[in-house]
Amino acid sequence: MDALNTVWDTFFDLDAMRAALPDMLRVGLPNTLILALFSALIGTVLGMVLAVCGLSQRRWLRWPARLWTDVFRGLPAAVTILLIGVGLAPLGLGIWGPNPYPLGILALSLIASAYIGEIFRSGIQSVDTGQLEAARALGFSRPSGMRLVVIPQGVRRVLPALVNQFIALIKESSLVYFLGLLASQRDLFRIGQDAAANTGNQSALVLAGLFYLLITVPLTHVVNAIDRRLREGRRADGAAAEEPGAATDPAPSTQLAISQEPR
Amino acid sequence: MTQQTRARRTGSPTSGVGVATRDVHLSFGSNHVLRGVDLDVPAASTACVIGPSGSGKSTLLRVVNRLLEPDSGDVLLDGRSVLGDDPDVLRQRVGMVFQHFNLFPHKTVRANITLGLTRLKGLSKDEASERALVHLDRVGLAHKADVRPGNLSGGQQQRVAIARALAMEPEVMLFDEATSALDPELVKGVLATMADLASEGMTMLVVTHEMGFARSVAQQVLFMDHGRVVEAGEPGAVFEAPRTERLQRFLSQVL
Ligand SMILES: Nc1ncnc2c1ncn2[C@@H]1O[C@H](COP(=O)(O)OP(=O)(O)OP(=O)(O)O)[C@@H](O)[C@H]1O
Ligand SMILES: [Mg+2]
C-alpha cells in the first residue's frame, strides 16, 4: 500500500503541480504556443511553395523542392534543430541577441514544411486533371487555374492530415530545449522537466503533459470533425446525381425534334 | 418562342465565326495521333466528328482551342491563324464542353459561371451574377444557381457546363462527347440545348456518338480514323452512302 502511495505521489502530487502551475501558465504555455503557431504558419507557407514547385513543369523548380523535402523529412528533428539552432546562432546573435526562438522556429518550420509540402502535393495531385483542363478551356492560364480551381480543392481534401501535422509540431516544439533556454524562454516541457529534476518528483512533468493534451486532444477532434464533414459532403455529391426527379426538370425548349436512336 | 426573341431574351445573340485546321499533325512521343487533319466549319454551322475510340477526336478538339499545341499545321479562326495568339485569350473565344462536365465541385453553380466572368472578362460581381443567371435560365436551371454541382443530375451538370462556356460569349463551341457519360433518359435534354444553340447561329464542332443528333443538326459530318479525316460530307451522304469500307464498318457497328 505504501509503495502504491509513493508511486501515486511521484506522478500526481498536487502540491508539486500547484507549485509549477504559475510558471506553466505564465511562461510555458505562451512559449509553447508561440513556437507551435509561428512554425505552423511558416511551415504551411513554405509547404505550399514546396508543393507547387514539386508539381511544376520546370525541372529546375522540381528538383530543389524534392531535395529540400528529402533532407528535412529524412533528418531526425533533433539533428535539424541543433544544426540550425546552434550552427546559425552566431549569425542570429548579431540580429536578435541571445534568443534561441527565431532559429528554433526556423528549424521547426523547415521540418514542418517538408511534411506539409508532401501533404499539399498529394492533395493537389488527387484533383482530377479535368479540373485544370476546364479552367484553361475557359481562358485561365495554368498558374491561375491551379490557384483558383485545383489548389483549393486539393487543400480541402488534406485538411485532416494538415491538422495532424500541426499536432506533431506542437509536440516537436519541446525539442527547442536543446538550444538552451533562459528562465523566461522555457516552454511547457522544460518547466515540467526542471521542476521534476529539482524535486525528484515527476508531477510537474505530468502537469506539462496535461497541458499538451489540453491542446492536442481538441485538435484531434477537429480532425475527426473535418474528416466526417468531407466524407458526408462527398456522399451527398455522389448520391444526389441522377435522382429520379432530375430528368423532369424544366428542360430547355427546342425547335428541333431530335430522334435519339435512329435506325 | 421564335429564335429572334429567344436570342434577345438571353441577351447573347450568338455570332459564330468559321473555324478550320490545315494539315494538323500531333504526336505523343512515338504515337502519331493526328496525321494531317484538315477541317472547315463555316460560320454558324455545326460539324459532327465521329470515329472509333482512339482515332484522335478529342486530341483534335484540344488542338483547336490549343489545350494542345500541334507539331505542325495551322488552326484558323475566322480565316486567320491563331497559333501566334496568346492561347489564354484564344480560349476565351472558343468554348469547350467535356464528357465528364468538369464543373468545379467546390463552387456553387453560379460561382462556376461567374469565375471566368469576373477574373477574365472584368465584369463586376453583380454583372457577372446577372449574366450567369441569364445563361442558366437559357438551359432551364436558373433555380439551381446556389446549389453545388454535386447535388445535380448528370444532365443538369452538363447543361451548367454549357452555360458556363456560353457565358464567356465564345465565337465557337467545342463539344467532346458531351452526352456519353449521361444516363439515357438525361441525354435528350442536353442534346436539345445543343440543338438550340446550333439553331441560334453558333459555330459548333461536336464529337459525338449520337448519330441522330449528327443527322438532324449538323451540316457536315466528319469520319475520323487513325488520325485522319477519312470521309466528310453532308450527314445524308455520309450515313446513307458511305464511300469507304472503314466508314461502312464503323456505321454498321454503331447504328
Ligand atoms: N495526353 C496524352 N498523352 C499521351 N497520349 C495521349 C494523350 N491523349 C491522348 N493520347 C493518345 O492519343 C490517341 C488518341 O486519343 P483521343 O483521346 O484523341 O481519341 P478519341 O478519338 O477521342 O477516342 P475516344 O472515342 O475513346 O474518346 C490515343 O491512342 C490516346 O492513347
Ligand atoms: Mg475522346
Domains of chain B with bracketed CATH: 17-105+170-254 (3.40.50.300)
Q: What is the pLDDT of residues A95-139, one digit of tens each?
A: 888 888 899 999 999 999 999 999 999 999 999 999 999 999 999
- Residue with grid cell 484558323, as numbered in its chain: B76
Mean local confidence (pLDDT), A57-62? 93
Q: Which residues of A are less than 8 Å from B157 in CB distance?
A: 241
Higher pLDDT, A259 or B47: B47
Q: Which residues of A are less than 8 Å from B9 in CB distance?
A: none
Orientation angle between helical segments A77-87 and A101-125, nearest 10 degrees: 140
CA of B53 to the centre of ligand 2 (A): 7
Neighbouring residues of A210: CB distance < 8 A, sequence distance ≥ 6: none
Mean local confidence (pLDDT), A16-40? 93
For the CA of B177, the nearest atom of ligand 1: 27
B245 interfaces chain A, CB cutoff of 8 Å = no
Mean local confidence (pLDDT), B140-156? 95
Using CA atoms of A177, A182, A185, A187 in order, give the dihedral in degrees to the nearest 10.
Answer: 40
Question: Superfamily assignment of A2-234 in CATH?
Answer: MetI-like (1.10.3720.10)
Q: Which residues of A are less than 8 Å from B193 in CB distance?
A: 252, 254
Mean local confidence (pLDDT), A49-71? 95
Mutation choice for A interface testing from B90, B92, B152 by most A CBs within 10 A: B152
Closest ligand to residue B55's CA: 1
For the CA of B29, the nearest atom of ligand 1: 4
Q: DSSP 3-state assignment of A127?
A: coil
Q: What is the pLDDT of residues B106-134, one digit of tens each?
A: 999 999 999 999 999 999 999 999 999 99
Q: What is the pLDDT of residues A146-188, one digit of tens each?
A: 999 999 999 999 999 999 999 999 999 999 888 888 888 899 9
Q: Is the CB of B104 under 6 A from ligand 1?
A: no
Distances (CA, A) of B158 to A39, A65, B11, B141, B228: 44, 38, 21, 11, 29
| Chain A interface residues (partner B, CB cutoff 8 A) | 128, 130-131, 133-141, 144, 148-149, 152-153, 156, 233, 236-238, 240-243, 246-247, 249-263
Pairwise CB contact (< 8 Å): B150 & A254: no
Q: Is the CB of B152 under 6 A from ligand 1?
A: no
